[in-house]
Structure 1
């Protein structure tokens, strides 16, 4: 099984200033059937822990199919996974090192892909959205 290393650089302009955000994903190039792989996404130029950002992992298969694997919101210690990967994916964060990790378990031949990490800007902090949903349920 062959997996690719990838360097992705994003530019963003938060609050009127131009800044460079760099996310570099690294991990093993190969894995064994039924084994596991650990990918690391090192983030530079942006805080990992922010109420306005969550971090996502996606992959692109050799056939061109883009698949969402899951996300992590380090500010609130929340994670979410795509249903098809729920039992095989673990996403975690090291807030001190500004890194996000994707661990893929029980590898299959169909896991051969290029893996990406990406930052997603949330319109409202996750806690605020959760609080609003809870208030609607209570009132």
Structure 2
């Protein structure tokens, strides 16, 4: 039997491959296999993106809100969730909200070079969408 961590990793891989329905099944199963608040919050954040991609944005936002309300989650997990919210705003065309969420997330992701790099690339793209080439260029240069 796979652990919640393993299910989460596999669900994220499926989501990244665009296989959102399959990802949803694994991420939903992961929620049933742990009582660790921090892990539950991370899984809910991943599931929120998947659910949004499957066309249920209200459910996605509710998942993000529930994840952020979990007691005792780490600053890093808060950063991951804010980054996820930024991505959801970006995908739905809410560029100002996306920039705000990405900016809130950034200091909480210190030391996670891969995630910081992705966040800066995403935020840079949003700056471009908003016509702010200078800020976009700064984010692209800072991305690792």
Normalised TM-score (structure 1): 0.25
Structure 1 or 2: more helix by fraction = 2
- Higher relative contact order structure (alpha carbons within 8 Å, sequence separation ≥ 6): 1
Structure with the higher fraction of residues in strand conformation: 1
Question: What TM-score comes out, normalization by structure 2 length?
Answer: 0.24
> Which structure is larger by alpha-carbon Rg, 1 or 2?
1
